[in-house]
Amino acid sequence: MERIKQALERARIERLNREGGHDVVELASSPKRIDAPHTEPSARLVPRTQEVFWPSLNARRVVGGPEASALVDTYRVLRTQVLQRMTNAKMRTLGITSANPGEGKSLTAANLAISLAKKVPVLLVDADLRRPSIRQLFDLGPPTGLAEYLTGDNDIEECIFNPGIDMLNILPGGAPCINSSELLVSPKMLELVEALKRSDASRLIIFDLPPLLTADDALAFSPHVEAALLVVEEGKTTAAELERATELLQGTHLLGSVLNKSTQTHAAYYSYN
């Protein structure tokens, strides 16, 4: 976490340089706070630990614990294909979205993050600030998350949780926000994205994004993720909605789609575009 804090300082300095700011100093090999240049660097920071209770997660259809199931195997297939494509393209940020609410994007993001975390370090970020749900899926508390970091004075280490699942960390959304679109493209948010990418070159960052057709949040933030997955609900998402959602993601590398709530043998099916 100390590396994230240092990367945040570097991202802020670079933004000030681009904007012609004057309160800019060069980071030394051992960075110091800009407002207190003579203080010692803080101790190494760690996420807040809150181990999950798997029976409760399973009741919410969050899987990946010690119990084997066909759904776990399905997400392993999805994990392998996503990891191969992102590794080959040297991409580390993935946005998961859908056309409409209720089509399973958050659950897909949670289960994919758990599966990926068995192979690589993963940070799951709830960027659906209007209707955050990752906290409820993992039963995390108290309600401090991305919204509180962006709108208040909370340090990032106060907002990230270690649920005790392999190499997974979680940044929940926090309290619902009505100005979510502005927050997602604010300088503080973009600095955070860059800092998270810099702090660990092996980490994959998964963003649970808002639905594409209900607000402009996902569209505004999509230029800041390298790849995307589109979750489609069988029997609900129409062909016209799917086409429109795909059009809105132009400019973002769309890895493919996840068919959710399927009547096939497996509960989810990954398809290449």
Return the H-helix or E-strand segment holding 133: none
Do 2 and 117 share a structural domain?
no
Do 123 and 167 share a structural domain?
yes
CB 52 within 8 A of CB 164: yes
pLDDT of residue 93: 97
Per-residue pLDDT, averaged over 126-151, amounts to 93
Q: Which tokens belong to 229?
A: 């997955």
pLDDT of residue 143: 75
The three-state secondary structure class of 11 is helix
CA distance 30 to 40: 9
Q: Which tokens belong to 92?
A: 């580390």
Q: Predicted confidence band at 30 (pLDDT cuts at 50, 70, 90)?
A: very low
- Among 189, 212, 207, which residue's Cα sits nearest to residue 113? 207
Do 219 and 94 share a structural domain?
yes
Residue 206 CA from chain centroid, whole number: 3
Count of structural domains, the chain: 2
Do 12 and 78 share a structural domain?
no
Greater model confidence, 109 or 35:
109
pLDDT at 58 over 90: yes
CA distance 211 to 137: 18
Do 20 and 73 share a structural domain?
no
Q: What is the DSSP letter of 118?
A: T
Q: Name the H helices within 117-261.
A: 134-138, 146-151, 180-184, 187-199, 217-221, 239-248
Q: Predicted confidence band at 18 (pLDDT cuts at 50, 70, 90)?
A: low
> Read out DSSP for 168-200?
EEEE---S--SSHHHHHTSHHHHHHHHHHHHH-
Per-residue pLDDT, averaged over 1-7, amounts to 68
pLDDT of residue 141: 81
Do 214 and 201 share a structural domain?
yes
CB atoms within 10 A of CB 259: 19
Q: Predicted confidence band at 69 (pLDDT cuts at 50, 70, 90)?
A: confident
pLDDT of residue 271: 46
Residues 39-43: contacts with CB under 8 Å, at least 24 apart: 41/2, 42/2, 42/5, 43/2
CB 112 within 8 A of CB 96: yes
Q: What is the CATH number of the domain that holds 79?
A: 3.40.50.300
Do 145 and 18 share a structural domain?
no
Domain, as residue range, for 83? 47-272
Do 57 and 35 share a structural domain?
no
Among 16-20, 83-87, 103-107, 176-180, the least confident range: 16-20
Q: Predicted confidence band at 31 (pLDDT cuts at 50, 70, 90)?
A: very low
Strand 268-272 and strand 253-260: the pairing is antiparallel
Q: Which residue has the tokens 């897909």?
A: 108
Do 17 and 119 share a structural domain?
no
- Among 232, 171, 231, which residue's Cα sits nearest to residue 206? 171
Do 196 and 101 share a structural domain?
yes
Q: What is the pLDDT of residues 141-200, one digit of tens each?
A: 877 899 999 998 889 988 999 999 999 999 999 999 999 999 999 999 999 999 999 989
Q: Give the pTM.
A: 0.84
Do 136 and 34 share a structural domain?
no
pLDDT of residue 45: 45
Q: Which tokens belong to 244?
A: 């429109």
Q: Predicted confidence band at 12 (pLDDT cuts at 50, 70, 90)?
A: low
Average pLDDT over the chain, rounded to an integer: 85
Q: Predicted confidence band at 261 (pLDDT cuts at 50, 70, 90)?
A: confident
Which residues, in sequence order, are CB contacts of 171 under 8 Å at separation 6+?
123, 124, 125, 126, 145, 146, 159, 160, 161
